[in-house]
Amino acid sequence: MLRNEWIKRSLVVWLGLVVCSLTACSIEQVNAKSSKKSADFLKADKQDIQHWREMKFGLFIHWGPVSLKGTEIGWSRGGERRGRTGRGSIPVEIYDNLYKQFNPVKFDADEWVQIAKDAGMKYLVFTSKHHDGFSMFDSQLTDYKITNSPFKRDVVKELADACHKAGLKLGYYYSPPDWYHPDYRTENHPRYIRFLHGQLREICTNYGKIDIIWFDGLGGKAEDWDSENLFRMIRRLQPHVIINNRAGLPADHDTPEQRVGKFQNDRPWETCMTICRQWAWKPNDQMKSLKQCIDTLVRVVGGDGNLLFNVGPMPDGLIEPRQVTRLKEMGSWLKKYGQSIYATRGGPFKPGNWGASTYKGNTIYIHVLNWHEDTLTLPPIPKKIIASSVMTGGAASIRQTEQAIEISVPKTYRKELDTIIVLQLDSPASEISPRALLSGSLTAEKKAKASNTFQKNAAYGPAKAVDDDPATRWATDSGTKQVWLEVDLGKPTAFNRVKISEAYDRVKEFELQYRNSNRWKTFVSGTKIGLDYSKQFEPVTARYVRLNILKATEGPTIWEFQLFAPKK
């Protein structure tokens, strides 16, 4: 960077901080005025968290000048990533000047808000600043902002006005890391912290009521951002705000990314996931089917979480029409069956390959996403089922015993997206402790090993593919084309059926093999696995079994690898 540009940028930041100081908005003054104890600022009020949990479904929007290139926001910037390794594909001198060409004349905040409402979403979270440091609002602390682009308008303000007018709850994503700012993670980092706090002060002061602040701290610690003082200021300015767990503090909720979170009903959580593959807009990006979208929503809510579903608008400001169509399809489904989603809790049956359940009051909603057998057998509950119906149409046969609950629905009434059976109990479902439907898989909790694991991280190790938990996965490093997963069944065991659940459809050729001596023998082969692969074959007896992936587009990921014994 040229010296005069560096000086100019630092001067703009310094002047902005002086302005905020003169307007009596400093953190120290906020601390002095507040009568609350410090710990009170670390958590939101219970009723605010409850209201957020009841909304269940929100729209995430990643957008900025990078949409002109169709590459990933922040991560495609080629400059130094202080605090991280690697560089993006776009040279920094090009990336940092994209805003000079950014003129999204078709941007319409009211239209975006209406798209969210048509999708059945109850809140919206927008990227006010990503890791690339570009501010999508009229910050007085930087000249690297949307109001200095040819567009000149404050996108954050227009979205705030549109959400408030339409009654849609409003949130802003803000990245504490900033690879553009000259002081970030240098000897002048304390000056960057003042800049960070100053920008959050602007957001929390200038745009009316804000319901959510969504940080993305890339593993930073609380002291990296002076988070306790930051939280104190935010909650002083926005008393009812919900804050996520990515600023070095646990805050109000967890944020599993690009995966359905595990069943968790003792702490709020929210899956953030893209409708396509990339967070920012990418031409011809692979988009999720309606079935995948509904599956994701149901499994998240059935796990007792919220879903924050992301779109990336195009350079002209429009959300891609095919993405709008998909969101409207989800909205149409929710208009019919939203009663089983909104304001419910996950359980009492934990999600499985079959589907998930939700409940409210004395009512349980059984969401059958996949009928593997003609009868769904669920664990017993200490409540009496006094009535049942099928919300999606038709009738169900329900048999309750002390050993199980058996549910059958004629094939003509089973829906491709989701068959919803409603069970009315004689007392509240909340009194039932969560219980899992055991799959009966021979691989469950058996020893497993693999030729590759993502960053050698045990959280993505081979054991996750055989733990009977559809929310965990075995993952491999990006660029992995060939890889194997081996399971030790403990002793020679007969099996004649396999189920595999794969994320992202990356596998293009695979084989299943068994070994009884030193030789591997193939008994099944194929070209595609997908989310719900199932195949029956002539019985095989073996102790060691291997999923051998011969070809993949990039690092394969397997949710579950299951084998089943022949039926007696």
Q: Look up the CATH number of the domain holding residue 504.
A: 2.60.120.260
Under a CB-based contact definition with an 8 Å cutoff, are residues 485 and 547 in contact?
A: yes
| pLDDT average, residue stretch 35-64 | 89
Q: Which position has the higher pLDDT, 470 or 464?
A: 464
Domain assignment of residue 307, yes or no: yes
The rounded distance, in Å, linking the Cα atoms of 305 and 292 is 17
Confidence of residue 219 (pLDDT cuts 50, 70, 90): confident
**pLDDT score at 6:** 46
**Judgement on whether residues 264 and 187 belong to the same structural domain of the protein:** yes
Beta strand extents in 439-528 (DSSP E only): 447-450, 474-475, 483-503, 507-515, 520-526
* Each residue's pLDDT tens digit, 20-47: 444 434 434 443 344 345 468 899 999 9
- Judge if 480 and 402 occupy the same domain: no
Residue 255 belongs to what domain range? 3-340
If pLDDT is split at 50, 70 and 90, which confidence band does 380 have? very high
Clarify whether residues 333 and 350 are in a common domain.
no
Cβ atoms of 107 and 170 within 8 Å: the answer is no
pLDDT in tens, 237-290: 999 999 999 999 999 999 999 989 999 999 999 999 999 999 999 999 999 999
Are the beta carbons of 551 and 528 closer than 8 angstroms? no
pLDDT tens digits, 427-452: 999 999 998 877 789 999 999 999 99
Q: Tell me: the pLDDT tens digits for 381-392?
A: 999 999 999 999
Q: Same domain, yes or no, for 198 and 216? A: yes
Q: What is residue 321's DSSP assignment?
A: H
Higher model confidence: residue 4 or residue 443? 443
The answer to whether residue 405 is domain-embedded is yes
Q: Cα separation of 213 and 211, whole Å?
A: 7
Q: How many domains, in total, are found in the chain?
A: 3
Write out pLDDT tens, residues 391-416: 999 999 999 999 999 999 999 999 99
Angle among Cα 397, 398, 402 to the nearest 5 degrees reads: 150
- For residue 442, being part of any structural domain is answered with no
> End-to-end CA distance of the chain, in Å?
73
On the question of pLDDT at 2 being above 50, the answer is no
Are residues 101 and 149 part of one domain? yes
Contact 289, 275 (CB under 8 A): no
Q: How far apart are CA 544 and CA 433, in angstroms?
A: 36
Give φ, ψ of 514 to 5 degrees: -130, 155
The amino acid at residue 322 is R
The dihedral region occupied by 317, where left means phi > 0, alpha psi between -120 and 50, and beta the remainder, is: left
Question: Looking at 254-258, 340-344, 369-373, 396-400, which range is the least confident one?
Answer: 369-373
Are residues 71 and 189 both part of a single domain? Answer: yes
DSSP collapsed to 3 states, 377-414: EECCCCCCEEEEEECCCCCCEEEECCCCEEEECCHHHC
Distance from C-alpha of 512 to C-alpha of 267, rounded to nearest angstrom: 39
- Asked if residue 438 belongs to a domain, the reply is no
- pLDDT score for 9: 53
pLDDT in tens, 136-149: 999 999 999 999 99
Enumerate the β-bridge partners of residue 547.
Answer: 485, 512
- The tokens describing 310, both together, are 């992301």
Q: How wide is the angle at C-alpha 431 spanned by C-alphas 426 and 434, nearest 5°?
A: 115
Please provide residue 510's backbone torsions phi and psi, each rounded to the nearest 5 degrees: -150, 165
3-state SS of 200-245? HHHHHHHCCCCCEEEECCCCCCHHHHCHHHHHHHHHHHCCCCEEEC
Token output for 116: 């969210």
Q: Tell me if 164 is assigned to some domain.
A: yes
Question: Is residue 330 domain-shared with residue 355, that is, in the same domain?
Answer: no
Both 47 and 67 in one domain: the answer is: yes
User: Which DSSP symbol is given to 184?
Assistant: T
The reported pLDDT for the residue numbered 35 is 38
Per-residue confidence (pLDDT) for residue 469, from 0 to 100: 82
Mean pLDDT of the chain: 92
The confidence band for 352, taking pLDDT boundaries of 50, 70 and 90, is confident
Predicted local distance difference test score (pLDDT) of residue 213: 98
Q: Are residues 95 and 239 in the same domain?
A: yes
Q: What is the pLDDT of residue 464?
A: 95
Q: Is residue 436 part of a domain?
A: no
Domain check: are 299 and 255 in the same one? yes
Residues 28 and 67 occupy one common structural domain: yes
Q: What is the CATH number of the domain that holds 390?
A: 2.60.40.1180
93, pLDDT greater than 80: yes
**Residue 437 domain-assigned?**
no
Q: In what order do the strands lie in the sheet with 405-408?
A: 375-378, 405-408, 397-400
**CA nearest neighbour of 53 among 362, 359, 343:** 343
Same domain, 86 and 128: yes
Give residue 27's pLDDT: 39
CATH of the domain at 174: 3.20.20.80
Is 441 inside any structural domain? Answer: no
Burial class (CB in 10 A: 0-12, 13-18, 19+), 47: exposed
Residues 6+ apart with CB under 8 A from 106: 316, 317, 318
Q: What DSSP state is assigned to residue 68?
A: G
